[in-house]
């Protein structure tokens, strides 16, 4: 590959990363609104545990703590379409979320009386029209 092609490839990759980042942030904003509209209080967003990982949203639902994973995808038929967002939490991802939830609880004063629940919000963004936001409770 010549230098010109390598530069073009790097620029395309950077644009793709920026677009994915913007799509993810948009999905997280929609997810936070959905949780708030459902009566939850968002406590934290994009909480990082070093290199272990990140919790997208931490919320309180009554006396329960909710650790929420947000998956945003372009709708099928869009360029770069992926699997449905609700299919994106693998057993390994669920285990990692449980560990992150435990660490968040330890660093923030212990588990609430209602315990800890792990939810998933899937956001499907079509080329045209309104995004579809699905909230699944207790996925892991």
Q: Provide the domain limits for residue 62.
A: 3-136
CA distance 122 to 111: 26
CA distance 94 to 45: 18
Q: What is the mean pLDDT of the chain?
A: 85
51, 103 contact by CB (below 8 A):
no
For the stretch 83-132, pLDDT in tens is 677 777 888 989 999 999 999 999 999 989 999 999 999 999 988 899 99
CA distance 81 to 119: 23
The CA dihedral of 22, 27, 33, 36, to the nearest 10 degrees, is -120
Domain CATH number, residue 16 = 3.40.1350.10
Structural domains of the chain, count: 1
Question: Computed over its alpha carbons, how large is the radius of gyration of the chain?
Answer: 17
pLDDT at 6: 54
On the question of pLDDT at 14 being above 50, the answer is no
């Amino acid at each position: 590959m010549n230098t010109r092609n390598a530069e073009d490839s790097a620029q395309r990759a950077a644009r793709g990363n920026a677009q994915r980042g913007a799509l993810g942030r948009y999905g997280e904003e929609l997810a936070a609104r959905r949780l708030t509209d459902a009566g939850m209080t968002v406590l934290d967003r994009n909480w990082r545990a070093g290199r272990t990982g990140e919790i997208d949203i931490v919320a309180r639902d009554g006396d329960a703590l909710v650790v929420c994973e947000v998956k945003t995808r372009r709708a099928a038929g869009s360029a770069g379409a992926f699997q449905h967002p609700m299919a994106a939490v693998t057993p390994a991802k669920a285990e990692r979320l449980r560990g992150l939830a435990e660490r968040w609880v330890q660093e923030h004063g212990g588990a609430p009386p209602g315990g800890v629940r792990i939810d998933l919000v899937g956001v499907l963004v079509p080329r045209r029209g309104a995004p579809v936001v699905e909230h699944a409770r207790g996925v892991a």
